[in-house]
Amino acid sequence: MTITDLVAPEAILSSLKVNAKKQVLQEIAARAAELTGLNERSIFEVLLQRERLGTTAVGYGIAIPHGKLPKLDRMFGLFARLDRPVDFEAMDGQPVDLVFLLLAPEGAGADHLKALARVARLLRDQEIAKKLRASRDAQAIYAVLALPSATAA
């Protein structure tokens, strides 16, 4: 499974204007609902529940909010580059500006964890992160995510 198997070109938000973590979660839940046909509130609640367990910010300005949904039939990814970094309560104290939403079917098990690990490896690559931050539109961001080095992450 590659990153581009998880995220489609229309699931990229190149300059999301938000002011806080909760607003990030609301906005990505709304877009995910549009693209998956699932209930926006259900997606938002799953993301909030996961954040209550501990932040999904992994450091270096990156967050990977994620959760499992019963009505989802396959893994779904959405990438957002924030217009301005927001506090995500990261362990390293850095505000977040790169967000990768990962939703999985309820029975995904190990596949969900493998996808999470792949996304984390990709975004922690400083060269990839730098290219994502420099990309100004969804097409450019998707091109970075589709790079051979990114798909091998």
Catalytic residue ranges? 66
> Residues 11, 142: contact at Cβ < 8 Å?
no
- Find where tokens 């990229």 sit: 12
Query: Beta strand pairing status for 76-86 and 66-69?
Result: unpaired
User: Collapsing DSSP states into helix, strand and coil, what is residue 9?
Assistant: strand
Q: What is the C-alpha separation between 105 and 84, in angstroms, rounded? A: 31
- Overall size of the chain counted in residues: 153
Q: What is the C-alpha separation between 58 and 151, in angstroms, rounded? A: 20
> Residues 24, 86: contact at Cβ < 8 Å?
yes
Report how far Cα 135 is from the mean position of its chain's Cα atoms.
16
